[in-house]
């Protein structure tokens, strides 16, 4: 077998960087030389993981590209969470397109055997082809969402609907799943051609031309959809997750992504004082920021639910940095009962703690899978992207969650969810017979996830198969 060297090139957003770092570590732990490609201000997020992997005797490295300067983008904006407004997203992606020449220089210099590049870099398939190496795609979604989205694009079951509340079924998938018009991305509904939608169309095309797709999921979680993806949508796919499970030590679980706004000790001391399954963890991913009005509703709903909580609070970029969202006396009343983290939380460490009994999530795929791997039932509060599909997987297919009732595809507002909806959903995820049944189902999935990544498990074997195939490329 040849010594494999694989380049990993994640999009500059934590929801992509975190799982791709885990993926690169996983490849390295199986004897592959893994190189992460990134930009100067994102490099520190990888440094510890790479160092730790090398300390264990594996081979990992980082290569740094200069982030292109473009008009309209603030200086030092190298990550999606620093983009001042959603309207600037296309400018940001246009800037990343300019990394092509630099990547090709690296491919020329180091001659890796494969390029694993994010779906948001459609041009990477052609770059890999110039050097006769396979390009694998990572898009960060689960299989259910990929299948649902694929079928929606083919059949457009909503095309004759007008009102936001008009409902339709996702066509041609193994389960009956209903959505309403307002849960679709605006560009999906209108078919308007913008720079962003052109980039998405290119991404889909480049995925079809690529060697295949690496999926952060495991076969037993979505078997119907793993089969559907391969056999109906005709994609070559390897599911090798949950990737977060490659983080074994407390330190690795606590130090993913950005620097946490709370120390491990403080967080664990608080959690250790709570009984099992008694705390709700609330977090809306790496970019979810809510306006004061929505935070206020959450605070009142949480208090009324009478449940203990850890709440990761990030305010909208346009809000004044005040605590104007906080109900009078809230923090004092919540001492010992609720912990607020203002900034980045050590999410996987928190979810893995036995005190956590529920997770209010925006249904980003990483958070969804991290919740599943930790055996935690969820309150679903999708916001945008493929999160509405993930909600349906959690609530309707796996039956391990309760919907808060989000009906609107939104970036930056929270969807105007009322305090009563928060109170009801939070209480029902912790208390009652149905909560117990959900918890049991979660325990089953947690065990399956663990088995999948252990030696001989489905994800372990799928990664083996992929590494074998890459080793014998191009004859494979």
Q: Enumerate binding residues for ligand UDP (CB under 6 A).
A: 14-15, 18, 256-257, 283, 285-287, 312, 344-345, 347-348, 364-367, 370
Asked if 164 and 182 touch (Cβ cutoff 8 Å), the reply is: yes
Full DSSP string of 211-256: SEEEESS-GGGSHHHHHHHHHTS---EEE---GGGG--SHHHHH-S
Helix (H) or strand (E) holding 348: helix 347-351
Structure tokens at 365: 């795929």
Query: Which long-range contacts link 42-46 to residues 24+ away (Cβ below 8 Å)?
Result: 42/12, 42/17, 42/78, 42/79, 45/14, 45/17, 45/21, 45/257, 45/258, 46/17, 46/21
Asked if 118 and 37 touch (Cβ cutoff 8 Å), the reply is: no
CA–CA gap between residue 470 and residue 440 (Å, rounded): 39
Least Å distance, CB 179 to ligand UDP, is 19
CA–CA gap between residue 285 and residue 289 (Å, rounded): 9
Least Å distance, CB 385 to ligand UDP, is 7
Least Å distance, CB 459 to ligand UDP, is 17
Q: Which residue in 16, 139, 188, 362 is the catalytic one?
A: 16
Least Å distance, CB 144 to ligand UDP, is 14
Tokens 């983290």: give the residue.
Answer: 341
Least Å distance, CB 112 to ligand UDP, is 26
Structure tokens at 300: 């009142």
Q: Which residue in 22, 81, 118, 462 is the catalytic one?
A: 118
Would you say 350 or 467 has its CB closer to ligand UDP? 350
Would you say 116 or 348 has its CB closer to ligand UDP? 348
Least Å distance, CB 425 to ligand UDP, is 18
Least Å distance, CB 251 to ligand UDP, is 14
Asked if 228 and 174 touch (Cβ cutoff 8 Å), the reply is: yes
Would you say 157 or 412 has its CB closer to ligand UDP? 412
Would you say 14 or 439 has its CB closer to ligand UDP? 14
Q: Which of 450, 282, 255 is nearest to 348 (CA)?
A: 255
Would you say 46 or 365 has its CB closer to ligand UDP? 365
Q: Which of 439, 419, 426, 309 is nearest to 371 (CA)?
A: 439
Would you say 299 or 369 has its CB closer to ligand UDP? 369
Least Å distance, CB 17 to ligand UDP, is 9
Return all residues near 57 (Cβ < 8 A) that are at least 6 apart: none
Return all residues near 193 (Cβ < 8 A) that are at least 6 apart: none
Active site residue 16: yes
Q: Which of 14, 104, 103 is nearest to 64 (CA)?
A: 103
Least Å distance, CB 41 to ligand UDP, is 17
Continuous H helices in 32-142 = 44-55, 89-97, 100-110, 124-130
Phi, psi for residue 358 in degrees, rounded to 5: -165, 155
Would you say 4 or 452 has its CB closer to ligand UDP? 452
Would you say 172 or 413 has its CB closer to ligand UDP? 413
The residue number with the shortest CB distance to ligand UDP is: 15
Active site residue 319: no
Full DSSP string of 293-339: HHHHHHHHHHHHHT-EEEEEE-B-TTS-SS-TTSPTTHHHHTTTTEE
Tokens 């507002």: give the residue.
Answer: 413
Would you say 287 or 378 has its CB closer to ligand UDP? 287
Q: Give the three-class secondary structure for 476.
A: coil
Just list the catalytic residues.
16, 118
């Amino acid at each position: 077998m040849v010594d494999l060297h694989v380049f990993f090139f994640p999009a500059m957003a934590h929801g992509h960087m975190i799982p791709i770092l885990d993926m690169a570590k996983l490849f390295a732990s199986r004897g592959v030389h893994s190189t992460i490609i990134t930009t100067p201000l994102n490099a520190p997020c990888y440094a510890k993981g790479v160092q730790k992997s090398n300390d264990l005797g594996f081979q990992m490295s980082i290569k740094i590209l200069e982030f292109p300067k473009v008009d309209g983008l603030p200086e030092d904006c190298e990550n999606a969470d620093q983009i001042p407004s959603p309207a600037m997203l296309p400018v940001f992606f246009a800037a990343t397109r300019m990394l092509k020449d630099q990547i090709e220089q690296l491919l020329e210099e180091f001659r890796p055997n494969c390029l694993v590049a994010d779906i948001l870099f459609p041009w990477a398939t052609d770059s890999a082809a110039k050097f006769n190496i396979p390009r694998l795609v990572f898009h960060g979604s689960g299989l259910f969402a990929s299948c649902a989205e694929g079928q929606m694009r083919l059949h457009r079951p909503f095309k004759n609907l007008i009102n936001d509340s008009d409902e339709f079924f996702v066509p041609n998938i193994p389960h009956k799943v209903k959505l309403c018009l307002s849960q679709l991305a605006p560009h999906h509904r209108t078919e308007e051609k913008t720079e962003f939608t052109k980039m998405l169309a290119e991404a889909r095309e480049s995925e079809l031309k690529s060697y295949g797709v690496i999926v952060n999921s495991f076969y037993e979680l979505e078997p119907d959809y793993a089969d559907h993806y391969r056999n109906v949508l005709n994609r070559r796919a390897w599911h090798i997750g949950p990737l977060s499970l490659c983080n074994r030590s407390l330190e690795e679980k606590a130090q993913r992504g950005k620097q946490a706004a709370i120390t491990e000790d403080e967080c664990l001391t608080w959690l250790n004082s709570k009984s099992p399954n008694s705390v709700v963890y609330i977090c809306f991913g790496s970019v979810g920021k809510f306006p004061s009005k929505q935070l206020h509703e959450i605070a009142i709903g949480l208090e009324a639910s009478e449940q203990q909580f850890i709440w990761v609070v990030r305010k909208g970029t346009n809000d004044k940095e005040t605590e104007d969202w906080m109900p009078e006396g809230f923090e004092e009343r919540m001492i010992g009962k609720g912990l607020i983290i203002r900034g980045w939380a050590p999410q996987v460490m928190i979810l893995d703690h036995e005190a956590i009994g529920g997770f209010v999530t925006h249904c980003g795929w990483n958070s969804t899978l991290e919740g599943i791997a930790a055996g935690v039932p969820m309150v679903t509060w999708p916001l945008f992207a493929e999160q509405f599909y993930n909600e349906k997987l959690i609530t309707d297919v796996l039956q391990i969650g309760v919907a808060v009732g989000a009906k609107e595809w939104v970036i930056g507002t929270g969807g105007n969810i009322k305090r009563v909806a928060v109170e009801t959903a939070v209480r029902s995820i912790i208390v009652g017979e149905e909560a117990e049944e959900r918890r049991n189902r979660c325990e089953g999935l947690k065990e399956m996830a663990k088995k999948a990544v252990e030696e001989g498990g489905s994800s372990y074997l799928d990664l083996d198969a992929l590494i074998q195939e890459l080793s014998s490329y191009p004859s494979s």
